[in-house]
Amino acid sequence: MAAIPLSDETPTTETPVVNLTLILVNTLVYIIGVTAPGLLLPGAHSYDEVVFKLGLVPALIVAGQSLYTLITSMFLHGGLVHLLGNMLYLYIFGDNIENAMGRLRYLIFYLLSGLGATMFHIASIMFMPSRALANAALEQGVSPWLVPAIGASGAISGVLGAYMVYFPYAEIRVVTLWGFIPFFLQLPAFAYIAFWFIYQLALGLTTALTGVTAGVAFWAHVGGFLTGMALAPLMVDKRRLARIYLGYRLRGLLPF
């Protein structure tokens, strides 16, 4: 039973320019890729061509080729639902991380989290048992080494990791379905994000053991999250965060 975040109660003190720009760029890249792929990749006649050229192919990265896809792959998405889901998470959680880090640090953090996610994804294939690797190839019709990895979710997982570090007690409003009946809940960030991470880890372990991927790079999510948690203390602007915490205390939004 998935819980979809709707909003958080963590206010920001400035316009999240970088976060909004990332959302805009991801959205425009998808729209252009689907409607006019030749504008993204000269000579391309379909979005699939764009994905295979600008998506991250693990075998090529290991061989030191097409290294530009370490960045370009972060701005491609496999479909409208994939895009909207990622942008929803980025919209809800990213503004607060930009507020705590500042614009330049946040942009660097976002890209580094995406790179960390990629490294975990490649490592997950590298250490996958041969039987699971064969099952994955059978499921996808091609070796996982040759399947392009795309999406902003690795970088956004890093944003969730930083949110867990900075704002564990923030309240997150979510909706979940019981059958066709929606239930609206309010959960502390540490509970919601911890459950999300455990879910990704469990599916990642299942993929590693069985080779059943469901077309999702779960280890990229795990890796992005851990990278984000590790970078959060290093990338934070302490004066910014101190001012944010002071404002939250004055509003009664912190339990301490």
DSSP single-letter state for residue 72: H
Confidence of residue 2 (pLDDT cuts 50, 70, 90): confident
Q: Where are the domains of the chain?
A: 3-250
DSSP string spanning 11-52?
A: --SS--HHHHHHHHHHHHHHHHHHH-HHHHSTT--SHHHHHH
Q: Which two tokens stand for residue 138?
A: 């059978």
Per-residue pLDDT tens digits for 44-81: 999 999 999 999 999 999 999 999 999 999 999 999 99
Residue 34 CA: distances (Å) to CA of 27, 75, 215: 11, 13, 20
Question: In this prediction, what percent of the chain has a pLDDT beyond 90?
Answer: 77
Per-residue pLDDT tens digits for 20-35: 999 999 999 999 999 9
Cβ contacts of 121 within 8 Å, gap of 6 or more: 58, 149, 154, 217, 219, 220, 223
Q: What is the pLDDT of residue 130?
A: 87
Asked if residue 102 lies in contact with residue 240, where contact means CB atoms within 8 angstroms, the answer is yes
Most distant CA pair in the chain, distance: 58
Q: Which two tokens stand for residue 188?
A: 């502390």
CATH for the stretch 3-250: 1.20.1540.10
